[in-house]
Structure 1
Amino acid sequence: MPAYSISDLADYFSITQRAIRLYEELGLITGMPGRGHGRKRMFTSSARDRLERVLRYKRLGFTLPEIGELIKILDSRDTKSSSINDTISVIGAIRERLYKRLMDIDGAMHDIGGYESASRKTLERSARTKLANQKTMG
């Protein structure tokens, strides 16, 4: 089983070691018991995958407590109907929130694409005008 040092994870995800320690303190990820060579914190590949998930949700705008709740739900093995119904409700709310963000991203991509296209046309016109001016002057 591969093991990753805290510095390996920090480098791979371009985050600080302090951020990883914070996620560990909050229970979002769990290091391996004990320490590796040089007394470094070590993490399993499943902890690495979980960190990747934490960072994805963070990029999506979830707060760390929300991420903790979401991970708790995703890790839940509770089979009581009431718990499952609660989980379904929470997941539905999260899905709706993500869908709204997806629509916002789609709108932003459309806006940016339009601006990019207009900018390219302006550059092309400018280049043609410059070329035409050079031909008339030379």
Structure 2
Amino acid sequence: MPGGALVPGASGLAVAMLVGAAFIAPAAAVVPAPQPLWNAAQDPVLLLMIFGTAMFASVIPYSAELMALRNLPQQVFSVLMSMEPAIAAIAGWALLNQETGPIRWVAICLLMTASVGITLTTAQSGSSKQQDEGEEPVPVPLPE
């Protein structure tokens, strides 16, 4: 079964987000803050910012990853996922003026190299194994 195919559509993601919110909401109500949670719920600008952050930081990226996981080969998806730290570092530098530092760039490059390496070695060993056994590779059907 391809990754992400256990629950059809985005309902699995919706349930995961609700479970996450159910776990964090009690902590948000108990943790002392400059303004109580119920006062923040009465500020429409703050509610809009909270909703926007939830959409742009969680729902949209996770939905895109889920669609990619279902439609791309697993090897391609894993390499693309290993590029996320580099994209985040570049976005942090460009948007927030954050310094990443040479050690972090080396770590990011090693992570991407390891991902590409394991993908290539797995693909080569898998294809030679199928040829040795005389089996034809079975294509994974795409969801409709």
| Rg larger for | 1
**TM band (smaller chain):** 0.3 to 0.5
Structure showing greater relative contact order (alpha-carbon pairs closer than 8 Å, 6 or more residues apart)? 2
TM-score, normalisation: structure 1: 0.38
Which of the pair is proportionally richer in strand?
A: 1
